[in-house]
Amino acid sequence: MRLAVLSDIHANLAALDAVLADLDRSQAVDAMWACGDTVGYGPQPNEVIARLQERGARAVMGNHDGAAIGVVDVTWFNDAAAAAIRWTATVLTDASAAYLADLSDREEEGDLTVVHGSPREPIWEYIVSPEVARANLGAYATRICLFGHTHFPVLYAADDGGVREVEAPAGSSVPLPAGRLLLNPGSVGQPRDRNPDSSYLVLDLAAQTAQFRRVPYDIARTQRLMREVGLPAWLVERLRHGR
C-alpha cells in the first residue's frame, strides 16, 4: 500500500498539478490523502477541488475549508487570510461548497488517522514541536497520524515515552521507525519553510518508508491569477519566498 499525502493545497492549481505530474512520473500510488486547507489563500478553489475528486483523493476539513463555507469562525484569521476567505466564499460553486461541507475533521482508515491540525484539536492546533506531538499521542488510536496546518514537512516518531524528530531529507526514502508516528507532508500550495517548491509525501506502508518530495511549479502563473482577482498582495508575494 503506497499513499500520496498532500496538505495545504490552498487553491493553488499550478502547484497541485506540478505535484501530480511529479507523482505520475515517479511512482504509482494506491491512494491519495489531502490533510485539509484545500482552499483559502489561492486563486482556484473550484479547480483544485475538481482535481482532487478526479484523482479520487480523500480529504479532511481544515480551518480555511470550514471558514470558506461559514462553519469555522474567521475571527482568528489574519486580515489577508480573512480577505481571501471572503473572496473564496463568493466564487465557490454549489458543488464545491457541498464537497467542503461533506468533509469530516478527522478520518481513520487502517493504520492511519488523518487530521488537519492535530488529533486533539483537528481544526486549530499546530503541531510545531516534538512536545506538542507527544501531547497528542493519547488523542488517536492508530499507529500513524497524518496532519498538516503548519506548512512544514516533518516526521515525528514516538520513542521511550517521548517523541523525536526524524531526519528525512527531501528526495530520499527513509525507513519508518517502528512504533507510532506523526507525519506532516508540508504544503503543496503555500510552503513556509523558506523553500518555495511544493512539498508532499509518499508513504509506502508495505516497504515501511517515507519519502518527502519537493517540486518546483509555475509560481508566476498562480501569482498572476491572484492579482487578477484582487487577492492581498502579501499573499501573492510570499509564494515567491516560501515563507
Q: Which residues bind Zn ion (CB under 5 A)?
A: 8, 37
- Nearest distance in Å: CB 25, Zn ion: 26
Which position's Cβ is nearest Zn ion? 37
User: Closer CB to Zn ion, residue 8 or residue 197?
Assistant: 8
- Nearest distance in Å: CB 127, Zn ion: 13
3-state helix, strand, coil in the chain (%, to 5): 35, 25, 45
CA distance 143 to 112: 7
Q: Could you tell me the three cell numbers for 49?
A: 477541488
> Considering only CA atoms, which of 71, 70, 72, 14 is closest in space to residue 189?
14
- Nearest distance in Å: CB 206, Zn ion: 30
- Nearest distance in Å: CB 80, Zn ion: 13
Count CB atoms within 10 A of the CB of residue 102.
Answer: 9
Quote the strand ranges of the chain, DSSP E.
2-6, 31-34, 58-59, 106-109, 112-115, 144-146, 153-159, 162-165, 173-175, 181-185, 198-204, 209-215
User: Closer CB to Zn ion, residue 38 or residue 205?
Assistant: 38
User: Closer CB to Zn ion, residue 8 or residue 125?
Assistant: 8
User: Closer CB to Zn ion, residue 117 or residue 130?
Assistant: 117
